[in-house]
Amino acid sequence: MSMPRVGIVSTSMTQLRPAWDSAQHIDLISAVVLDVFKGTGLTLDDVDFIIDSGSDVLDGRSISNCGFLGALGAHHKEEARVEEDGLWAALYGVNKIRAGSSSVGLIVAYSKPSESRDIDLYWGSMVEPFYQRPVGFGQKAALGMQAQRYFAAHGIDGKDAAALVARRWAAAAEGGQVAIDAVPDSDAVLASAEAAAPLTDLMISRPVDGAVAMLLSTEDIAARLGRAPAIITGMGTSMETHAFSARSANQLESVAKAAAMAGAKAGWKPSEADVAEVSASSAVGELLVLEGLGLAGAGKGLDAAMSDKVNRSGGALPADPLMATGLVRLAEAYKQLSQPHAGANAPRRAVVHGTGGVAMQTNCVFTLEV
């Protein structure tokens, strides 16, 4: 028995803002869940299951999805929560449809990091309490050391990282999905406050609020509903050891493993993609992802990062809705592939990446094709 292929039918996203202080989680969630059906011909009645992604710690309540079920459209439906980045929620949904038990799934990811007074405490909750928390080790320290090692190993410096960050913010501003008061240039990135030397504040991804919803279905349904169904042809996940200091320096092996897994299923390598939408917790983190995907050799991530095919949306550096970022990347890649393009140069293949944990411990890679 062959398993059905799974495609993306539609997506909906709120604007990504530093603070959605006029809306609750449920306001953001119900906005995208209402909107995602527009133009598809489907309604909530057609949805077999709902998978949502978010963080109880960020939400400030335990099993927070229980309070969001109504907004999710999950009343008396099969619903499951993934306490991981939204790309894992999509992975769960794809597998449910491929397994044959369902035809249409609704995937939702959301984030309101603005409600946490000190976002470093959220990250601190992820590290070990006996040896790591008391000495001040957390997300920022890990990203700083990751960057210090990368700079030293590959002869790049803050100016290179700043140029990448400025490029990403400019792209995000052009895309219009991200609330941006002023686009920082390289000098402004370098001049922003020190976050974790050698990284400045703007070299670390900016937490933002927002929600994203996505309808997935079997290929035959997607082909009848969507304008140009984009098929998810490969998926892979892998994770680093929790002990940051025990990970290999200057590489994210788990990205390479996840990419190999996804590429083997798709039958092509991520380096052959026309479009790449990748997540990252810092500018150096993005370079490590691009190298892990095979888009660049070791230490050459910057070359790939400056290519027009990588993070046209701006990526995660200007807008990182923690726990939703990977699903936003998938939605952005879908948009880039499904918009009508003329000619033989239209993008046909995308590679998408999501990440989670301290210093990008967990990684997930999708391949998407039209």
Q: Rule CB under 8 A: which residues touch other proteins?
A: 12-15, 20-24, 26-28, 30-35, 44, 57, 60-61, 69-71, 73, 75, 112, 114-118, 121-122, 125, 129-132, 134-138, 140-141, 143-145, 147-149, 152, 176-177, 194-199, 211, 241-246, 249
Strands 210-218, 6-13: pairing kind: antiparallel
How are strands ordered across the β-sheet holding 362-369? 78-82, 49-53, 104-111, 210-218, 6-13, 230-239, 362-369, 349-356, 275-277
Q: Which residues contact 129 (CB under 8 A, 6 or more apart)?
A: none
CB of 363 vs other proteins, minimal distance in Å: 18
Strands 194-196, 199-200: pairing kind: antiparallel
CB 300 within 8 A of CB 158: no
CB of 324 vs other proteins, minimal distance in Å: 14
**Alpha-carbon distances, residue 233 vs 229, 306, 311 (angstroms):** 12, 26, 20
Angle value at C-alpha 228, between 226 and 231, nearest 5 degrees: 95
CB of 133 vs other proteins, minimal distance in Å: 9
CB of 234 vs other proteins, minimal distance in Å: 28
Upper half-sphere CA count for residue 274 (Cβ side, 13 Å): 14
Q: Which residue, 101 or 245, has its beta carbon nearer to other proteins?
A: 245
Work out the burial of residue 28: count CB atoms within 10 Å of its CB; fewer than 13 is exposed, 13-18 middle, 19 or more buried.
buried
CB of 20 vs other proteins, minimal distance in Å: 7
Q: Which residue, 77 or 348, has its beta carbon nearer to other proteins?
A: 77
CB of 21 vs other proteins, minimal distance in Å: 5
Q: Which residue, 226 or 263, has its beta carbon nearer to other proteins?
A: 226
Tokens linked to 178: 């991200």
CB of 158 vs other proteins, minimal distance in Å: 13
CB 158 within 8 A of CB 190: yes
Q: Which residue, 53 or 177, has its beta carbon nearer to other proteins?
A: 177
Q: Which residue, 31 or 223, has its beta carbon nearer to other proteins?
A: 31
Q: Which residue, 2 or 76, has its beta carbon nearer to other proteins?
A: 76
- Backbone torsions φ then ψ of 3, nearest 5 degrees: -85, 145
CB of 365 vs other proteins, minimal distance in Å: 23
Whose CA is closest to 234, among 269, 266, 208, 199?
Answer: 266
Whose CA is closest to 115, among 203, 33, 14, 18?
Answer: 18
Q: Which residue, 34 or 80, has its beta carbon nearer to other proteins?
A: 34
CB of 126 vs other proteins, minimal distance in Å: 12
CA 4 to chain centre: 25
Helix (H) or strand (E) holding 276: strand 275-277
Q: Which residue, 223 or 239, has its beta carbon nearer to other proteins?
A: 239
Q: Which residues contact 308 (CB under 8 A, 6 or more apart)?
A: none
DSSP single-letter state for residue 235: E
Residue with tokens 């993005």: 286
Q: Which residue, 101 or 125, has its beta carbon nearer to other proteins?
A: 125
CB of 4 vs other proteins, minimal distance in Å: 26
Q: Which residue, 135 or 342, has its beta carbon nearer to other proteins?
A: 135
